Amino acid sequence: MGLKIGIVGAGGFSNGFAQLFKTHPLVEKVAIAELIPERRAEYAKRHGITEEYESLDEMLKSDADCVAIFTQRHLHGPMVIKALKAGKHVYSAVPVATEVEEIHEIVELVNRTRLIYMVGETCYYWPCAMFCREMYKSGRMGDFVYGEAQYYHDMKRFYLPFQRSGGENWKMVAGLPPMHYPTHSTGMILSALEDAYAVKVSCMGYRDNHSDGIFGEGKNYWDNPYSNETAIMKLSNGGICRINEYRRIGWERPSSYISGMYGTRGGYENSSMQHIWQEDPEGGKPVLTDVSDRLNTVEYVRDSKREGFSMEKNALNYKAYHSTFSAIQNFSRLPQNDTYLKLSTGHSGSHPFLVDDFVKAVAWYKLPPNNIWDAARYNIPGLIAHKSAMKDGALMEVPDFGGIPGGWTMLEPDKTETV
C-alpha cells in the first residue's frame, strides 16, 4: 500500500508539486484541500485529483497519512501544529513559523509523536549549498570560519503572489519582516555545517520609503518598517555568518546563493555564473579550481560552450538556466520514471529531490534532512534577528531546542536506492 498525501493550498507554488507527489512510486493517492472553491476545482482538474476538501480542518479528518502544506507564509506554524496533533506526517513549505513559541511546540510534538516533519527548503538542493556541504564534510574546507548567504527578491516581483490570495489587504501580509523568511540563506550555510547553530545575532534594517506603502508602522501585521535586513550571526562552532534578506533591491539572479564560504583550508566564492573553489592547505601549494560546470545547470553549461553564446544576454533566463538540474545533483537516486524526471521545474531542480526525501522518509520511517531540528535552527535566528533590527542592532541570544535526539535512523538521500 502506497501513501496517501493531502496537499493543502492550491496556490501558485503547490502547482509544481502535485504531479511529483502523484507520480512518485511510493505514493498511492493525492488529495487537495483549498479554501477557494474555483481554485480547488481547477487544481483538481488540472492534476487529475479526485478527492477534494474545503479546508485543512476537513482534510485532517480524512485517512491521509501525510499533509503537504503550501499555504501563505504566516499561516504555517498553527497549521503544522494542528496536523501533527491530528496524527499526520507533515511536509511544509518554508518558513517553519513566524513565532519562536510555535517552533518550540512543533519540536515538542515531533519529539512526542515521532511523526515525520520536513520543511521543504529548496536551497538545500541548490548547487552552491551542495558543493559547500561536500567540501566541508570531506574535510577539504577545514574548520568553518565565515560564510555569507542571501535571498534577494525585489517586492515588485512579489505583488502578484501576495495579491493572489491576500484580497484587498494583501499588503498586510506582504510586509512580513524579511528575517521571518530566512531559511533559504541560513539553510544553505547551516546544512553544510551539520551540528552548528546560531548562538548570537545582531541585525540592521533598511527603513523602506517606497510609495507602494507595504513596509512601515501600521502598514502590515508586524508593524515592520524594514524591506531589507542584514544579520551577523555567531555560530556554536565559533564561525561567523552574514545573512541578507532583501525585498527591495535592484538585483535579479541568482536570487538565493552563497556568495562566499571559507574554512581554514579552503573557500568557495560565487559571482553570477562563476563558481570558484580555492584550497590552501598548510604546507601545500594553493590551488584554484573553476567548478562552474558542476554547479551551473547542464543546459547552461552546454549552451555556454557554443560559439557566439553571450552570458550577458542569457544568464538571467530563469527557465533555461536556473530551474533545472546541475551535474552536482545526483538525479540517479530519484524515481527513474520519465514523468517524475521531467518535472524538475523550478528552483534549481530542487523540487523532485525534496518530494523524494519526504516520501521515502515516511514510507521507510527514517528521518529526512530538513527535519524539525534542522528547520528550527534555520528559522529561529531570523526571528530573533528581526527583534534585534527593531532594537537598532542590539546583540541577542538565539534560543536553541537541540539537535536530533537519539533513536532515529537517518535517511541518507544520496545513499538510498531509487524506487
Ligand X SMILES: NC(=O)c1ccc[n+]([C@@H]2O[C@H](COP(=O)([O-])OP(=O)(O)OC[C@H]3O[C@@H](n4cnc5c(N)ncnc54)[C@H](O)[C@@H]3O)[C@@H](O)[C@H]2O)c1
Residue numbers of the site for ligand X (CB under 6 A)?
8-14, 33-36, 39, 55-56, 70-73, 75, 93-94, 122, 161, 164-165, 347
What residue has cell string 547551516?
190
Taking the alpha carbons at both ends of the chain, their separation in whole angstroms is 14
Decide whether 249 or 276 has the Cβ nearer to ligand X: 249
Decide whether 35 or 145 has the Cβ nearer to ligand X: 35
Q: Please give the sequence-ordered ranges of beta strands (E in DSSP) within 359-412, or none if there are none.
A: 396-397
Residue in 250, 206, 213, 204 with CA at minimum distance from that of residue 395: 204
**Closest distance between ligand X and the C-beta of residue 305, in Å?**
29
Are the CB atoms for 33 and 7 separated by under 8 Å?
yes
| Integer Cα distance of 223 and 285 in angstroms | 53
**Closest distance between ligand X and the C-beta of residue 259, in Å?**
18
**Closest distance between ligand X and the C-beta of residue 269, in Å?**
23
Q: Is 381 left (phi over 0), alpha (psi -120 to 50) or beta?
A: alpha
**Closest distance between ligand X and the C-beta of residue 402, in Å?**
25
Decide whether 128 or 291 has the Cβ nearer to ligand X: 128
Residue in 309, 349, 346 with CA at minimum distance from that of residue 333: 349
Residue in 252, 94, 91, 74 with CA at minimum distance from that of residue 188: 94
Decide whether 62 or 165 has the Cβ nearer to ligand X: 165
**Closest distance between ligand X and the C-beta of residue 13, in Å?**
3
Are the CB atoms for 322 and 405 separated by under 8 Å?
no
Decide whether 72 or 278 has the Cβ nearer to ligand X: 72
**Closest distance between ligand X and the C-beta of residue 369, in Å?**
15
Decide whether 36 or 199 has the Cβ nearer to ligand X: 36
Cell numbers for 115: 511523526
Q: Is 358 left (phi over 0), alpha (psi -120 to 50) or beta?
A: alpha
**Closest distance between ligand X and the C-beta of residue 331, in Å?**
19
CB-based closest residue to ligand X: 11
Decide whether 167 or 406 has the Cβ nearer to ligand X: 167
Decide whether 10 or 18 has the Cβ nearer to ligand X: 10
Whole-angstrom CA distances from 373 to 108, 124, 369, 396 are 10, 15, 9, 21
Whole-angstrom CA distances from 104 to 97, 120, 280, 327, 372 are 10, 18, 41, 37, 10
Beta strand 266-271 with 274-279 is antiparallel
Decide whether 85 or 114 has the Cβ nearer to ligand X: 85
User: Facing residues of 82 across strands?
Assistant: none
**Closest distance between ligand X and the C-beta of residue 33, in Å?**
4
**Closest distance between ligand X and the C-beta of residue 307, in Å?**
35
